[in-house]
Amino acid sequence: MEIEFDAAKDEANQVKHSVSLARAAELEILVRVFDDRYPEPRLRAYGLLDGMPYCLAFTAFRGTIRAISLRRAHLREFKRYV
């Protein structure tokens, strides 16, 4: 899957969550959830990265995934969706 992201957003994500948005391509997605809290259609994907639960917030457009945020998933939310 093709992943794109803003370089400044990636830097901020690394500072805040200690993971690069580029690693979103490695996420073993287990479930996708629509997130209707925003004006544009967003999705959240829950899956595993290095055997740990992660959450990816993204938009999909013309076959490209635009990563917004990648972070470790809270165990409670991971269990809720997966």
pLDDT one-digit tens code per residue, 25-69: 999 999 999 888 888 889 999 999 999 999 999 998 888 899 999
Which domain covers residue 16, as residue numbers?
A: 2-81
- Residues present in the chain in total: 82
Which residues of the chain form beta strands (DSSP E)? 2-4, 28-35, 42-49, 52-61, 64-72
Question: Which phi and psi angles does 10 have, rounded to 5°?
Answer: -65, -45
pLDDT band at 1 (very low <50, low <70, confident <90, very high): low
pLDDT in tens, 4-27: 999 999 999 999 999 999 999 999
Indicate which CATH number applies to the domain containing 10: 3.10.450.530
How many distinct structural domains can be found in the chain?
Answer: 1
Integer angstrom CA distances of residue 43 from 15, 40: 22, 10
Give the predicted TM-score (pTM) of the model.
0.89
